[in-house]
Structure 1
Amino acid sequence: MKRFMLAATCAAALALASSALAQEKIRLTGSGASFPAPIYMAWFKDLGKKNPNLTVDYQAKGSGAGVQDFLNKTVDFAASDSAMKKEDMAKVPEGVQLLPMTAGEIVLAYNLPGNPKGIRLPREVYSSIFLGKITRWNDARITAANPGVSLPDLPITVVVRADSSGTTAVFTKHLAAINDEFRKSLGEGNTVNWPASDKFIKSPKNDGVTATVRQTPGAIGYIEYAFAKLAKVDYALLQNKAGQYVGAGNGGETLAAVKLPPDMIAWLPDPDGAKAYPITSYTWMIFRKSNADPKKAQALRDMVEYGLTHGQKMADAMGYIPLPAGVVDQVRTAAANIK
């Protein structure tokens, strides 16, 4: 009888310990931007290995949808390439903390017969393509910038985002900065009214635009550099503010010249510098400052700290820009506001 009681006591103690251990396991949910999704997915997978009690589930559904999920309180955090509007922040009684967690470049991926590499696109040309003003690949303004390259007499199919997209916001902010007609007629934002033309095709998320460009001869579309790198698609050399043609992969110098204000939101619509890549942007995670569960708040801070340390080491290889050291310090300090 004593043996039975001892065994029962041990079993109960074991079950209690197991239950306590299970209670320590925390699951975080997030949604939003597809721009940083590849690196975030890599982070969260590795974080789960390093801390088996912490699971982070992230759904890449577009910046606009992520912000809406955050406002609806269906996620613990959101991610957006277009930060968050002040009027949306005002709807969150717990307070909002934005943290730039990584940065990247938007490239113009294209699909041309013969796969010519590094097609040069002047500022006037690529902004006019997305206005629907330049419609063929052998347009004189494109051929003049690419001497010795045989460009086909082929219609340009422009691939744009179908969803509410921070990538679109960053891209159109740049186009509006360099082309007055674009600013006046289309403007900037997560969605814009692209020209009504059968040569404009809409696809969801960065991977959708990437796939459509790959499948469509004569196509050009804007995607995050990491997607172009992963899919091995050709992308253009873009003319920057200094008049130089540059390719993606050189955004570190551009970011280092930007100082983040207290709200942690800074834009680079048309950066200076001979080597500056013209379409470079931070991308943000969005948190509530006040969280009902202190353990979940600690887990969110742990997730941020992982991204600032181990996570930054993955950035370059995956086609993202490691945060400058000063920015890492600023983000770490601001992350203490998540309570």
Structure 2
Amino acid sequence: MNKLLTVGLTLLAAASASASAQTITGAGASFPYPLYSKMFAEYKKQSGVSVNYQSVGSGAGQKQIINRTVDFGASDNFMTNAMMAPAPAPLLHVPTAIGAVVPAFNVPGVSNLKLTGDVLASIYLGNIKTWNHARIKELNPGVTLPGLPITVVRRSDSSGTTYVFTDYLSGVNSTFASRVGRGNSVKWPWGSAAKGNDGVAGAVKNTPGALGYVELAYAKQNKLAFAQLKNKAGNWITADNGPASAAAAGVVMPGDTRVSIVNSANAQAWPISSFTYVIFYKEQKYGNRTQAQGKALKSLLWWMTHDGQKYNEGLDYAKLPAGVMPKVEKVIKSMTYGGQAL
């Protein structure tokens, strides 16, 4: 009887471990959410493993992985050493795609617009408040710009998209750098706030005169016009997969994969481009976590960075460059359970 009970309990424990490995939890960036929704649906079809991903903003994703309430966090900006300091153990980063942040606008009668980073920063500083301002008109000869007030829209939540956008503006405008700076959450001089990329896109779509920053996929899904920008090389660029990918061309990817590609010097690069990351613990044995759960996460990360890449371009994200893959693979292979390779 005792022997049968022991066997029964062993089988129950194994079944429980197997069941827990069938669902992976993640939270964070809204930036890659259209891509992740597709990826995770396809991954379930192929593997039977469900991924429960909550699009709550990069800052929340960073917080949740530090608190170990999810299997992985997701963020468009990598976590610095200082940001990772509160984590109870070493964290790893793996990029999954490259995306473009675009200045989407809603100006009645205007479908094409050119802006420089300096003018964009001046708008967000509150120094340019109407669409027919002389500095905008100068960049757009032949375009009839109305005297409509600009309604600046920015994120209300802690956001990696905000970090990428403010990182760019801080790099091209010293006043913005000193007054606002770069971060997931910053103190904006003016404007209205909306939650998530979807919230900002919706606010721009529904507000004549609005200007907001969103990931390219959200602008296209909502049929929003977005401005061309002059890049570091002095060329006017329209955001797309190619220009986003060009931002990573020639960038030396460090071993930990944490790198910025904002304001690339590449002649064809879109200047507000970024890798988007999945963040997780190197050592997967913590709490009541099983080896099966660690293996399930490792398998998902490998699939996202390999077979899953075929979904990137169709959803307006650039694939990971071939040159970064050896370092991505090395990071994933470094995952352990109880100090042993998974």
Q: TM-score, normalised by structure 2?
A: 0.90
Q: What does residue range 1-339 of structure 1 map to in structure 2 within 5 Å?
A: 23-25=17-19, 26=21, 27-52=23-48, 54-114=49-109, 116-195=110-189, 197=190, 200-249=191-240, 250-292=243-285, 293-339=290-336
Whichever of the two has the greater Rg, that structure is 1
Instruction: For residue 41 of structure 1, report the CA deviation from its aligned partner.
Output: 1.3
Give yes or no for contact 2:245–2:321 (8 Å, CA) kept in 1.
Answer: yes
Deviation at 1:21, TM superposition (A): 6.1
Cα deviation code 1:29-73 (max 9, x no counterpart): 010111111111111110000011x11110010111111111111
C-alpha displacement at 1:117, in angstroms?
2.2
Q: CA deviation at 1:19?
A: 9.2
Q: Deviations over 1:63-119 (max 9, x none)?
A: 1111111111110110011211313323333321111111101000000112x2230
TM value normalised by structure 1: 0.91
Quote how far apart the aligned CAs of 1:20 are: 6.0
SS in 2 for 1:138: coil
Bigger mean CA deviation after superposition, 218-227 or 325-334: 325-334
Which amino acid counterpart does residue 279 of structure 1 have in structure 2? I
Q: How big is the shift at 1:22?
A: 6.7
Unaligned runs of 5+ in 1: 1-15
Deviates further, 235-244 or 17-26: 17-26
Which one-letter code corresponds to 1:131 in the other structure? L
Q: Is the 8 A contact 2:152 2:212 kept in 1?
A: yes
CA distance in 2 between counterparts of 1:194 and 1:17 reads 57
Q: Distance in 2 between matches of 1:243 and 1:51?
A: 47
Code of the residue aligned with 2:169 in structure 1: it is L
Residues 225-266 of structure 1: per-residue CA shift (max 9 Å, x gap): 111111111100011112221111121122122111122111
Aligned equivalents of 1:238, 1:252: Cα separation in 2: 16
The aligned amino acid for 1:237 is: Q
8 Å contact from structure 1 (residues 287, 338) kept in 2: no
Residue 160 of structure 1: how far off its partner (Å) = 0.3
Unaligned runs of 5+ in 2: 1-9, 337-342
The Cα shift of 1:122 comes to 2.1
Amino acid at match of 2:106: N
Aligned to 1:13: none
